[in-house]
């Protein structure tokens, strides 16, 4: 039989494990780039690579109207989940994380998609990084901070771990992969079609 002291020790270990899990979950939540009310009935999750032209098209054709009609009114919470397919996309995600203001992060996300054909070209990662820096400088970042984030292996590991976890949980085979609550959206990347899908879940 366990002594009282051993039982207390064992209980403390279980509590520490439990709270460490809670901390991990909460830290993952904080890393997610999201906009909209936490009380929204619908959560739209997009798993995207910033070098993916289909992801840029989805953001351009759907996100802007979605924000105006559903996000700003509190009906939808929108989440961008990083799913980089290459080093250029990974580095672009790092620069987004260098910004603390959530609204500005979404603005930078939109700008990266808008200028995708300018920075996400070629195979020279140094040239790509310089192009990314030019964009980042317009969002209140300085060159030193951008360099710091580009070299930060901890941030890189976080992004790659999120990608691995998303792959396991959502079985992602292409980008963008979009979920509306727990339902996968597989329709056309047109706002009219996406809106119909959303309204069925309201």
pLDDT (0 to 100) of residue 117: 97
pLDDT computed for residue 63 by the predictor: 94
The pLDDT profile of the chain, 202 residues, written as one tens digit per residue, is 445 444 444 444 344 334 333 333 334 444 689 999 999 999 999 999 999 999 999 999 999 899 999 999 999 999 999 999 999 999 999 999 999 999 999 999 999 999 999 999 999 999 999 999 999 999 999 999 999 999 999 999 999 999 999 999 999 989 999 999 999 999 999 999 999 999 988 8
Question: Could you tell me the pTM of the whole model?
Answer: 0.83
Q: How many CB atoms lie within 10 A of CB 160?
A: 14
In this prediction, residue 3 carries a pLDDT of: 53
Note whether 167 and 81 are within 8 A (CB): no
Rounded to whole angstroms, the Cα distance separating 50 from 112 reads: 7
pLDDT at 157: 97
Q: Which domains does the chain have, with CATH numbers?
A: 40-199 (3.40.30.10)
CA–CA distance from 118 to each of 64, 113, 131, 134 (Å)? 21, 10, 8, 11
Specify the pLDDT at position 201: 82
Q: What is the distance between the alpha carbons of residues 186 and 85, in angstroms, rounded to a whole number?
A: 20
Judging by beta carbons within 10 Å of its beta carbon (0-12, 13-18, 19+), is residue 187 exposed, middle or buried?
A: exposed
At residue 11, the pLDDT reads 45
Q: What is the pLDDT of residue 7?
A: 46
């Amino acid at each position: 039989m366990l002594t009282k002291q051993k039982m207390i020790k064992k209980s403390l270990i279980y509590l520490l494990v439990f709270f460490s899990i809670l901390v991990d979950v909460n830290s993952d939540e904080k890393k997610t780039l999201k906009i909209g009310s936490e009380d929204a009935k619908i959560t739209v999750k997009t798993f995207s690579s910033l070098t993916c032209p289909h992801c840029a098209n989805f953001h351009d054709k759907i996100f802007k109207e979605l924000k105006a009609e559903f996000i700003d009114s509190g009906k939808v919470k929108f989440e961008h989940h990083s799913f980089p397919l290459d080093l250029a996309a990974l580095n672009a995600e790092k620069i987004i994380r260098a910004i603390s203001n959530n609204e500005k992060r979404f603005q930078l996300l939109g700008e990266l998609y808008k200028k995708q054909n300018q920075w996400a070209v070629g195979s020279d990662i140094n040239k790509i990084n310089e192009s990314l820096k030019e964009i980042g400088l317009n969002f209140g970042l300085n060159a030193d901070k951008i360099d710091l984030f580009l070299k930060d292996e901890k941030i890189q590991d976080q992004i790659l771990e999120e990608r691995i976890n998303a792959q396991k949980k959502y079985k992602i085979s292409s980008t963008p992969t979009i979920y509306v609550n727990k339902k996968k959206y597989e329709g056309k990347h047109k706002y009219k079609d996406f809106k119909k899908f959303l309204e069925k879940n309201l």
